[in-house]
Amino acid sequence: MTEVYGQLKSEKLAEESKVAHQIVNEINHFQISDRQRWLIMYYLALEAENFDEMKQMVDFIKELKGDTILISRVYGSEDQ
């Protein structure tokens, strides 16, 4: 009989998904606004290891949310 040491790839993926879901649940305990959810996604996108993927995610969020996502875009013109 063959013994398996360590995790199978599917087990590792399942564990990563579980942890990601736990993180989302923890964030939701803060009762954040939709704008804050988008900002979190934006900041997480900036942390992506692959530059091309990071750029695509950031561009997508900016395209979808327009100038409302960043505070300098929302309030910057009023402060002058």
CA distances to 2, 9, 44, 45 from 39, in Å:
48, 31, 8, 10
User: Does residue 36 belong to any structural domain of this protein?
Assistant: yes
pTM score: 0.74
Domain range enclosing 64: 32-80
- Give the model confidence (pLDDT) of 61-73 as tens digits: 999 998 788 876 5
Instruction: Report the SS3 class of residue 80.
Output: coil
- Give the model confidence (pLDDT) of 23-61 as tens digits: 999 999 999 999 999 999 999 999 999 999 999 999 999
Split into its structural domains, the chain has a count of 1
User: Does residue 42 belong to any structural domain of this protein?
Assistant: yes
Residue 78 has pLDDT above 60, yes or no: no
